[in-house]
Amino acid sequence: MRGKILGLVLILFLLTIPVFGLSTEAIEANNSLREAEYVIKVLKEANLSTERVSDIYLKAKQLYEAQVALEKAGGKPDYSEIFNDVDEIKNIKEKAFLLMDELNALKLRIKDSDVNTSEAEVIYKDAVREFEDERYEQCEILIEKTYAKLSELESKAARIAAFYEAMSKTFENFLRENFKKIIAAIAIILITLVVTHNRIKVYRLKKKLELLELRKVILKELIARTQKDYFEKGIIGEDTYHIRIDKFGELIRDVNRQIPLIKEKIARVEKPEKKLEKIEKRKQAKIKEKKLEKIEKRKQQQAKIKERVEALEEEDLDKITERLLELEKKMKKPKNPIKRIAYEIDIYRRRKKIEKKFKEISK
């Protein structure tokens, strides 16, 4: 702490040292240059680049020396440009520290974001590069672009999350409403896949078996031809004959070894398929049996109704009419369109018959 105080006192002392023989404006310009030197020192201590401010300072110092020489020669010096350069150095220093804080804050903002920030990170890296190269104006623009890109990505992620949430709810409701149908469909698909897979496998195995049988036939033909060439035509030697016969015989033994294995595989694959077919046949038989039972029950009901109607025709017309009306109320109209038409025709016929009997009585 004591060292920092001594340093400040020394700087103030140096700033107040008069430059003897020069004007007040020259002294103030010299003090400004001292302030610029201090600013450059602060930037270096903060590990910030000082190339830009050093160039400005060097230009200002050279200008100062030229104006001092002009003043000593009796000319009219102008120190205003020196003050402007020092002000620029101070502004650059303020902007550098401000942007450094903004970059650190932006880095934390990117780190804490829950979305994919790869696009924003690219712009952020460009901003850091511009800052390190002392192009602070461009760095400031890129910082704003990074924030804008982050907002865009987070907004897009929020919309996607809302969409997926709505879709998941819709899908969940769909599953709840159609759970039984979906399970049934999955079961049908699985059975179909199993049956189809087994059939394809059986088909391939049978094709392979056919090829082996064909190969066996060809090999036997080659043996017969070799024997003919040796015994009848005599166009091949004994060594060649024995080599060919041994080779063809070995190949036939290999084919004979593979054929039972493939037949065994075919039997294993067909066995569950046959079981499935039996299960399916049993299901179809049960469904057919239930349909026949329903048809039989319906026939019995219709027969009973017909018997009751025929019995009613022999009774008094008033009772017939009354009971027929009650019967119509009790009878359920068939859902089948054709049966419903037959029902209506039957009722209409019976009404006409009653009306005819009434007319005969009235006469």
Q: What distances in angstroms separate CA 67 from CA 16, 62, 64, 295, 306, one per listed residue?
A: 20, 9, 5, 122, 134
**Identity of the amino acid at 161:** A
**Chain segment 337-353, per-residue pLDDT in tens:** 666 677 777 777 777 77
Predicted pLDDT at 7:
47
Give me the phi and psi of 135, to 5 degrees please: -95, 75
pTM above 0.95, yes or no: no
Q: Name the burial class of residue 132, with classes exposed (0-12), middle (13-18) and buried (19+) by CB atoms within 10 angstroms of its CB.
A: exposed
Is residue 67 a contact partner of residue 78, using CB atoms and an 8 Å limit?
yes
Cα–chain center distance at 213: 50
pLDDT, one tens digit per residue, over 36-90 is 899 889 888 888 888 888 898 899 899 888 888 888 888 888 888 888 988 988 8
Measured CA to CA, the distance from residue 151 to residue 164 in angstroms comes to 20
CB-based contacts of 55-60 (< 8 A; 24+ apart in sequence): 56/85, 56/88, 56/89, 56/92, 57/33, 57/85, 57/89, 59/85, 60/33, 60/36, 60/85, 60/86, 60/89
Identify the residue whose tokens are 């077919």: 277
Per-residue pLDDT at 276:
57
3-40 residues labelled b (16+ CB within 10 A) or e (exposed): eeeeeeeeeeeeeeeeeeebeebbbebbbbbbebbbbb
* High-pLDDT (> 70) share of the chain, %: 77
Predicted confidence (pLDDT) per residue in 86-120, tens digit: 898 889 889 888 888 888 888 888 888 888 888 88
Higher-confidence residue: 359 or 10? 359
Q: Look at residue 141 in the predicted model and tell me its pLDDT.
A: 92
Torsion, Cα 61 63 69 71, to 10 degrees, reads -110
Structure tokens belonging to residue 50: 């000082």
More confident residue, 355 or 285: 285
Predicted confidence (pLDDT) per residue in 293-347, tens digit: 888 887 777 777 666 655 555 555 556 566 666 665 555 566 666 666 777 777 7
Q: What is the pLDDT of residues 6-17, one digit of tens each?
A: 444 344 444 444
